[in-house]
Structure 1
Amino acid sequence: MKRTTIIALMMLFGISFSKAQTSPTAEDKIHSFVSIKNPPTFPGGMAAFYKFLGENIKYPEQAKKENIQGTVFVSFVIEKDGSVSNVKTVRGLGAGTDQEAERVLGLSPNWVAGTLDGKPVRVKYNIPIKFANKTAK
């Protein structure tokens, strides 16, 4: 009988601990930029965002040497305060391009936060960043 009681208590504690650790609050939920009416905006719009990227990306030397060209796909989260976080390469090229894309996104100025029902929310973006070596022959 004691053994059954101990096992039952252990199961109850295990269930309560797992629920507490895995259920994110509504405040922590990350929304997709396509799923909300008022997504975050970069100061000056997306054209200004891509201009910012173009002015700040430095073509990695290793990528130049190996003539690596193509697109790096990166995801990031715009937080409720407009800051950029959780920058990660989803599909990369290597030769330093992935790290460079992540570095530049980390330099981004704050965005205007996205809102849902009038409250700021966390929003995830996935974007392509193209690397083209203009000096390649």
Structure 2
Amino acid sequence: MKKILLLFVLLSSIPFYAQKKIYFTEDFKELPTQSNATYYSIYEPKGKGTLRTTFYINDSIYSKDYFSNYKKREIDGTSERWYPNGKKESLAIYLKGKQEGSQTRYYESGKIKRIENYKNGEFVDGKCFDENETEIAFYPYHIKAEFPGGEKAFYDFIASDFKKPNNSFGQVIIGFSVELDGTLNHFEVIKSVNKEIDLAVIQTLVRSPKWLPGKIDGKTIVTKHKLPITLHAFEGKQKKIGRTKMEY
């Protein structure tokens, strides 16, 4: 009797799990309710993984992805996106979280916009087309925002500009955005040493030369970043600044 009851509970819980809606903002920050939401997702158990189907708030489909390991966000199989008008935006194939084979993106008209080929997550080659289906010069789909001269040049700038206001040490992590014109904005203290140190790092970022902004499919976009800096105690000739990899 207990086994039958347990089986009934498990089976009856599946539709509830499948129909539960998780709401998101335009940039996919989770919301507690539908208010101000742009999208919502439904998660369904499928095989040993999870099928996530996301909809625009008007109930038209936005995306469909199968995760073999949702906790690690590891996509396996096809990943599809749709425009609000119902036309397909993209079709990609993943193998253990890495793009594999051909990926196709479309114009809202339904005509092919670009085809890219991947091997084990690495870009191999690709083609781009205009809306008349004529091949044009290829350009990367995703271009990261970058400090002029690259990441090393950025840390060299930080090291030369930053003035340590006190003898505190530890790691500070500052979040910021690179705007459309390359300026840095929307600073956020993610990990603090103390207010004086945090402010000094932010002031250095404010003085940063303009970055080369990021692009998606040829369009300039605002991008978000995290800057980790490790501050050492003053001991002899020990460096005052260390760093770990910046997150893009």
Q: State the Cα deviation string for residues 94-120 of structure 1 (Å, max 9, x = none).
A: 051111111111111100010001010
Q: Distance in 2 between matches of 1:80 and 1:124?
A: 12
Structure with the higher helix share, 1 or 2: 1
Task: Determine if the alignment matches structure 1 residue 70 to structure 2 residue 170.
Answer: yes
Which residue number corresponds to residue 157 of structure 2?
52
Q: Distance in 2 between matches of 1:56 and 1:110?
A: 15
Residues 142, 217 of structure 2: 8 Å contact kept: no
Residues 97, 131 of structure 1: 8 Å contact kept: no
Which residue number corresponds to residue 229 of structure 2?
129
CA RMSD in angstroms, aligned pairs only: 2.0
Q: Which amino acid aligns with 2:155?
A: Y
Task: Determine if the alignment matches structure 1 residue 96 to structure 2 residue 96.
Answer: no
For the structure 1 residues 95 and 121, does the alpha-carbon distance in structure 2 shift closer, same or farther, using more than 3 Å as the test? closer
Larger Rg: 2
Task: Determine if the alignment matches structure 1 residue 105 to structure 2 residue 205.
Answer: yes
Q: Distance in 2 between matches of 1:90 and 1:57?
A: 18
- SS of 2:222 mapped into structure 1: strand
Q: Which amino acid aligns with 2:176?
A: F
Q: Distance in 1 between matches of 2:189 and 2:210?
A: 20
Which residue number corresponds to residue 27 of structure 1?
none
Which residue number corresponds to residue 72 of structure 2?
none
Q: Distance in 2 between matches of 1:95 and 1:85?
A: 18
Q: Distance in 2 between matches of 1:77 and 1:39?
A: 12
Q: Which runs of 5+ in 1 are unaligned?
A: 1-17, 24-35
- SS of 2:144 mapped into structure 1: coil
Q: State the Cα deviation string for residues 49-93 of structure 1 (Å, max 9, x = none).
A: 000000011111xx32xxx21110000000111110011211101
> Which protein, 1 or 2, shows the higher relative CO under an 8 Å CA cutoff with sep ≥ 6?
1
Residues 147, 154 of structure 2: 8 Å contact kept: yes
Residues 72, 129 of structure 1: 8 Å contact kept: yes
- SS of 2:201 mapped into structure 1: helix
Residues 42, 112 of structure 1: 8 Å contact kept: yes
Q: Which amino acid aligns with 2:157?
A: F
- SS of 1:96 mapped into structure 2: helix
Which of the numbers 21, 32, 40 marks the counterpart of 2:145?
40
Q: Distance in 2 between matches of 1:48 and 1:101?
A: 16
For the structure 1 residues 95 and 118, does the alpha-carbon distance in structure 2 shift closer, same or farther, using more than 3 Å as the test? closer
TM-score (norm 1): 0.67
Q: Which runs of 5+ in 2 are unaligned?
A: 1-34, 39-140, 239-248
Structure with the higher strand share, 1 or 2: 2
Q: Distance in 1 between matches of 2:161 and 2:233?
A: 15
Which residue number corresponds to residue 118 of structure 1?
218
Q: Distance in 2 between matches of 1:112 and 1:95?
A: 29
Q: Distance in 1 between matches of 2:144 and 2:154?
A: 14
| Count of residue pairs the alignment pairs up | 101
Q: Distance in 2 between matches of 1:117 and 1:95?
A: 39
Residues 213, 221 of structure 2: 8 Å contact kept: yes
